[in-house]
Amino acid sequence: MKTTRQLWEDYLFLTREMLKFIDQEELELFYELLDQRERLQTELDGRQIDFLPPARAKQMVFAIQQDNQRIMGQLRTLLNKTKSNHNRSRSYDGLGVTVSGIRFDRKS
């Protein structure tokens, strides 16, 4: 069984890796890391960060919170980009025109 220190270090590592992969828009890897971090969170529930001096423990928690905020920002950006792309593609649906088979270079 891992010590509390090892679990918190793993949690911080996973958080930073999640940030790296969300920056690269590697969503499959991001979600896999998110699942791993959630499983780790259940192990950490109820454990204190008592292996560090209180000031250092606060710094670690603050760093995790900052990374989480950046992850949330990146997820919002990806969601907005996806919505925009979806809306853009839907805007062509209402035209009733199929582009395949139409020659645009034809001289009239």
Residue 11 lies in a domain: yes
Residue 49 lies in a domain: yes
SS3 state at 103: coil
What is the pLDDT, as a whole number, of residue 83?
Answer: 83
Tally of domains within the chain:
1
What is the pLDDT, as a whole number, of residue 1?
Answer: 78
Chain-centroid distance, C-alpha 13: 14
How many other CB atoms are found less than 10 A from the CB of residue 43?
14
Mean pLDDT computed over 26-51: 90
Residue 83 lies in a domain: no
Give the confidence band of 104 by pLDDT, cuts at 50, 70, 90: low
Give the confidence band of 12 by pLDDT, cuts at 50, 70, 90: very high
Structural domain boundaries enclosing 19:
4-75
Percent of the chain's residues with pLDDT above 90 = 46
Residue 8's closest CA among 65, 49, 42, 58?
A: 49
Helix ranges restricted to H, the chain = 4-23, 27-44, 54-91
Residue 45 lies in a domain: yes
pTM, rounded to two decimals: 0.72
Residue 80 lies in a domain: no
- Return the DSSP state at 93: G
What is the pLDDT, as a whole number, of residue 63?
Answer: 93
Q: CA separation (Å) from 56 to 19, 52, 98, 100, 108?
A: 22, 6, 62, 62, 75
